[in-house]
Amino acid sequence: MQEFSHKVDFSNRFVCVCVIFVVILHSFYSFLLRLPMLPTRKIINDPVFGFLNIPDGVLYQVLQHPYLQRLTRIRQLGLSFFVYPGAMHTRLLHSLGAMHLMQEAINVLRQKKITITDNEATAAMLAILLHDIGHGPFSHVMEHTLVSGITHEDISLIMMKQIREDLQQTASPDYVQLLDLAISIFKDEYDKHFLHQLISSQLDVDRLDYLCRDSFFCGVTEGSVASARILKMINVVDNHLVVEAKGIYSVEKFLVARRLMYWQVYLHHTSVAAEQLLIKILERAKQLASQGVALFGAPALQFFLYNQITTEEFTNNPNALHQYALLDDSDLLSAIKVWMKSEDKVLGLLCQHFTNRQLFKGKILEHPLTQAEHEALCTHYATLFGVTNEEAQYFFVEHISTSNTYSEKGESIGILFKDGSVRDIADASDMLNMETLTFKPQKRYIFMFQ
């Protein structure tokens, strides 16, 4: 009997201890809930610049927006993977890299006693994070086919304004004000002009990132630039961005690298051939859609195939922006794979050649095609593929590739000397002059099937 009593006492004590433990645990949990939330630290491992810090707050919230996440499904270099298989990096990765360089630039300028408030720094980082948000699938192809009269820069601004409206519904008013400031900097309406120059000028963080990043993923060492060295040398004079004279050789290397990257990567004849073939595909699909022919495609792609989308549509029709934000590279690639079996011979042939990398072949022209040469090509392809002379025009295209390293009409790259004077890089350089920098080489091609 005594043994039973001891067991009961032990059980009661155990229950009491458990109850006390649960009460203490609940109180501690309630205390934690009342504590302010600690900022979340996000780190991205970037193969080019190492670990990138994503600050908590408006930058992280905007990064989660569907418009920005869409850039994970759009390649930075469009169709360059046909030439450089490693060129599979995305526009989001470029935007994050540019934001990182903006942060580095702001830190350097602050160390040199240039006043930049926390809000201005955050807004500048927001502006560069969003600067490419309006790009469509495969770079500039859509601007020549599915939409007309509007550039990706215009669409970027429209998207920024839409993100602002979304933040008004879900976020702090402080976040909305920061995005307003970012838009003002992006449009060059803010009084600190040098912040806009860091986003868009002849020496900005956008170019510094894409040259480093594109050369890395393509394996083209000629495009590598000393971005860290250049940023260490920047300064501000009379509200304009300048580079201290010690950095002049790094700037010269930057300009040379840009010219080399244009002809070796961005305007590589095979990449241009692939782009011209894709344009022909979309032009043919657009023509068939205008005739009421049913074509396979994601709803967003069909929206642009079966409607004429202009600047007014983007401005006045919210559905146009919504559909555009749903478009990415995979929509075009999946449609092209299905269109290989199209009943339309022209569309089917174009898509088969594109999918199987049987691209246009490029030939340098000394002069524009004459009317007789154009008609001869139409006759040739009409006979070869069994199509009409009008349809045969989809199988060749005349195209001019051109680039310029430096624009004398744009804002100059100023070099700051020890005596306080600022001179244009074209005057300050002992290697480059204005004639060399502003020379715009052109290559006239005829792209066609062989």
Give the model's pLDDT for residue 71.
96
- pLDDT confidence bin for 33, thresholds 50/70/90: very low
Residues 6+ apart with CB under 8 A from 319: 303
Residue 93 lies inside a defined structural domain of this protein:
yes
| Domain hosting residue 113, numbered range | 49-268
Give the model's pLDDT for residue 30.
54
* Among candidate residues 268, 288, 313, the one where a domain is terminated: 268
Give the model's pLDDT for residue 39.
55
Give the model's pLDDT for residue 430.
82
* Same domain flag for 227 and 362: no
* Same domain flag for 339 and 197: no
Closest CA to 75 of 329, 297, 290: 329
DSSP per-residue codes, 172-186: -HHHHHHHHHHHHHH
Residue 409 lies inside a defined structural domain of this protein:
no
Residue 13 lies inside a defined structural domain of this protein:
no
Give the model's pLDDT for residue 24.
72
* Same domain flag for 235 and 356: no
Residues 6+ apart with CB under 8 A from 30: none
Query: In this prediction, what percent of the chain has a pLDDT beyond 90?
Result: 74
How far CA 68 is from CA of 291, 303, 313, 352, 356, in Å, comes to: 35, 21, 21, 32, 31
* Same domain flag for 212 and 342: no
Give the model's pLDDT for residue 300.
95
Residue 301 lies inside a defined structural domain of this protein:
yes
> CA 290 to CA 294: how far, in whole Å?
10
Closest CA to 338 of 354, 357, 318: 354
pLDDT tens, residue by residue, 311-327: 888 888 889 999 999 99
Total domains present in the chain: 2
Instruction: For residue 230, give the 3-state DSSP assignment.
Output: helix
**Distance from the Cα of residue 18 to its chain's centroid:** 58
pLDDT higher than threshold 60 for residue 12: yes
Q: The domain that contains 353 carries what CATH number? A: 1.20.1250.30
Give the model's pLDDT for residue 18.
63
* Same domain flag for 348 and 249: no
DSSP β-ladder status, 442-448 and 422-424: unpaired
* Among candidate residues 243, 268, 293, the one where a domain is terminated: 268
* Same domain flag for 103 and 241: yes
pLDDT tens, residue by residue, 52-70: 998 888 999 999 999 999 9
Tally of helices (H runs) and strands (E runs) in the chain: 20, 9
Residue 145 lies inside a defined structural domain of this protein:
yes
Q: 287: which 2 tokens?
A: 């023509």
* Same domain flag for 144 and 281: no
* Among candidate residues 268, 295, 319, the one where a domain is terminated: 268
Q: The domain that contains 146 carries what CATH number? A: 1.10.3210.10
Residue 206 lies inside a defined structural domain of this protein:
yes
* Same domain flag for 284 and 328: yes
* Same domain flag for 340 and 197: no
Give the model's pLDDT for residue 32.
43
* Same domain flag for 258 and 378: no
Residue 44 lies inside a defined structural domain of this protein:
no
Mean pLDDT within 369-388: 95
pTM, to two decimals = 0.88
* Same domain flag for 258 and 298: no
Residue 12 lies inside a defined structural domain of this protein:
no
pLDDT tens, residue by residue, 21-30: 666 766 665 5
Taking the chain, what is the end-to-end CA distance rounded to the nearest angstrom? 105
What is the residue-averaged pLDDT of the chain?
Answer: 90
Strand ranges in 200-339 using DSSP code E only, listed in sequence order: 234-237, 240-244
* Same domain flag for 152 and 246: yes
